[in-house]
Amino acid sequence: MSIAYYATPKTVAEALGALAELDGRGMIIAGGTDLVPLIKQNRVDAKALIDISGVVEIRGLAFEPEALTIGAAATHHQVCSEPRIREIWPALADACASIGSPQIRNIATLTGNVVNAQPAADAAIALVALGARMEFMAAGELKTELIEKLYAGLGRSKIDPRKEMVTAIKVPRPGGRHGNAYGRISPRNSFCMPIVNAAAALDCEGDRIVSARLAMGPVAETPFRPQRAEAELQNVELRNTRALEAAAVLASQEANPRSSCLRGCADYRKELSRVLVKRVLEKAAAMAGRESIQT
């Protein structure tokens, strides 16, 4: 199946109009770095592409009182090179900075990273830990949903790019004492799929963790939140490395990675996720332990 039509709308309205007119035969494309290889392999069943990278309204970053709004067409490069994001959401900056190569990051979007629905998608992992939401137009309405709830299964997003259009990602602004961090372990230092990756976001009061959100990949079909480990972290003192380690152990026990002859055996990935979650927790705790950020 080859693409017969390529639309380049300049506004959200135009994009939605094209989607509607094509009535399921068209598909949203953002950066295309995941989609183009699939199209070349004839694994995409669409006759038309609607490219949203030119839609001005959704290209930028907006720093609002409650949240960071990342336009649906914003690239990994935009996010990881923005100093304010690095300051407040280092997990997201680090995650985006680790994806692919500079060439990929200049074109690929966080939206695509989520909608492509791979369990170890780095930006998605960070976004899930940060409690980010996705805003999207579906059936004429603007909807919003937590990103972690937008997965239908391995490689399947609940967002249907034939009918629905993502407009933004909203990352809540942390209040008070907070730390977040991201980490990954890969065979070579760059331009590489991770063996495991993880992100943590810790909301604190004083020196104690009040709520912890962890996201791990690829240890399940989707980005995975180890809820027992998160519960275990409640009330833990930031400097209590033994407790952080114990939570990491729990997280790895909850994790259920597959064995991959290319990426690593299940046992090793489980152990690695323990090490990585511990490191990520320590980094997040260190950030929270510093002066609270001017948010």
Partner 1 sequence: MSMSQIPTRKKIEFILNGRPTRIDIEPDELLIDVLRDRLLLTGTKKGCGEGECGACTILLNGKPVNSCLLPAMKVAGQAVLTIEGLAPDEALDPIQESFLEAGAVQCGFCSPGAILAAKALLDEQKNPDEAAIKSALSGNICRCTGYVQIIEAVKLAAEKMNAQPPASKPS
Partner 2 sequence: MESKTTLIGRPVVPVDGKDKVKGRAKYLDDLQLPGMLHAGILRSPHAHARIVGIHTEKAMALPGVAAVITAADCPDHRFGCDLPDATILPRDKVRFAGEEVAAVSAVSRKIARQALDLIEVEYDPLPAVFEPEDALKPGAPLIHADKPGNIAIAYQIERGDFKRALAGCDHVFEEEFSTPRVLPGYMEPFGLIAHWEPDGRLKIITGIQAAFQARSEIAKALGINPSRVSIQVPAIGGAFGGKIWIRNFHPLIALLAKKSERPVKYVMTREEEFMASRPRVPAKIKVKLGMMNDGTMVCKEMQILTENGAFSWAAPKVTLNMSMRTDCLYRYQATRVEARLVYTNKTPTSGFRGYGNSQSHFAVESMIDICARRLGLDPLEVRLKNAASQGDTTLHGWHLRSCGLSECLQKASAAIQENRPIREEKGGLFKRGIGIACMNHVSGNRSGENFDGSSSMVRFQEDGKLAVYHGESDMGQGSRTIFALIAAKTLGIPVEDVIVMPLDTDVSPFCFGSYSSRVTTVGGKAVYLASLKVKKQLLDFAGRLMDAPPEILEIENGEVFVKSTPDRKIPVADLCQKAIRSKTTLDLTAYVAYDPPTQGTDKNFFGDYSSAYTYAAQAVEVEVDTETGQVRILRVASAHDVGYAVNPSGIRGQVCGGIAQGAGWGLYENIVYENGVLKTVSMRNYNMLTINDIPEIVPILVETHDPVGPYGAKGVGEPTLIPMAPAIANAIQDAIGHRFKHLPITAEDVFAALHPECNISLMER
Q: Does 249 bind partner 2 (CB under 8 A)?
A: no
Given a contact cutoff of 8 angstroms between Cβ atoms, the answer to whether 272 and 196 are in contact is yes
- The per-residue DSSP string of 156-201 comes to EESS-TTT-EEEEEEEEPP-SEEEEEEEEE-SSSSS---SEEEEEE
Determine which residue in the list 2, 66, 140, 290 makes contact with partner 1, applying CB under 8 A. 2
Given a contact cutoff of 8 angstroms between Cβ atoms, the answer to whether 162 and 24 are in contact is yes
Q: Whose Cβ is closer to partner 2: residue 189's or residue 294's?
A: 189
Q: Does 51 bind partner 1 (CB under 8 A)?
A: yes
The mark string for 181-210 relative to partner 1 (x by CB under 8 A, - otherwise) is: ---------xx-------------------
Q: Does 293 bind partner 2 (CB under 8 A)?
A: no
Determine which residue in the list 172, 271, 289, 293 makes contact with partner 2, applying CB under 8 A. 271
Residue (of 24, 18, 101) closest to 52 by Cα position: 18
Choices 57-65, 141-149, 218-226, 266-274; region in contact with partner 2 by CB under 8 A: 266-274
Q: Whose Cβ is closer to partner 1: residue 186's or residue 211's?
A: 186
Report, in Å, the least distance between residue 5 CB and partner 1.
Answer: 5
Q: Does 100 bind partner 1 (CB under 8 A)?
A: yes
What residues are paired with 211 via a beta bridge? 203
Strand ranges for the chain from DSSP E: 5-7, 26-29, 48-51, 61-63, 67-71, 133-138, 141-146, 151-153, 156-157, 165-172, 177-185, 196-205, 208-217
Q: Whose Cβ is closer to partner 1: residue 28's or residue 134's?
A: 28
**Rounded to whole angstroms, how far apart are CA atoms 50 and 14?**
10
**Rounded to whole angstroms, how far apart are CA atoms 262 and 109?**
26
Determine which residue in the list 4, 13, 142, 154 makes contact with partner 1, applying CB under 8 A. 4
Report, in Å, the least distance between residue 161 CB and partner 1.
Answer: 15
The mark string for 175-214 relative to partner 2 (x by CB under 8 A, - otherwise) is: ----------x-xxxxxxx-x-------------------
Report, in Å, the least distance between residue 21 CB and partner 1.
Answer: 4
Q: Does 59 bind partner 1 (CB under 8 A)?
A: no
**Rounded to whole angstroms, how far apart are CA atoms 51 and 49?**
6
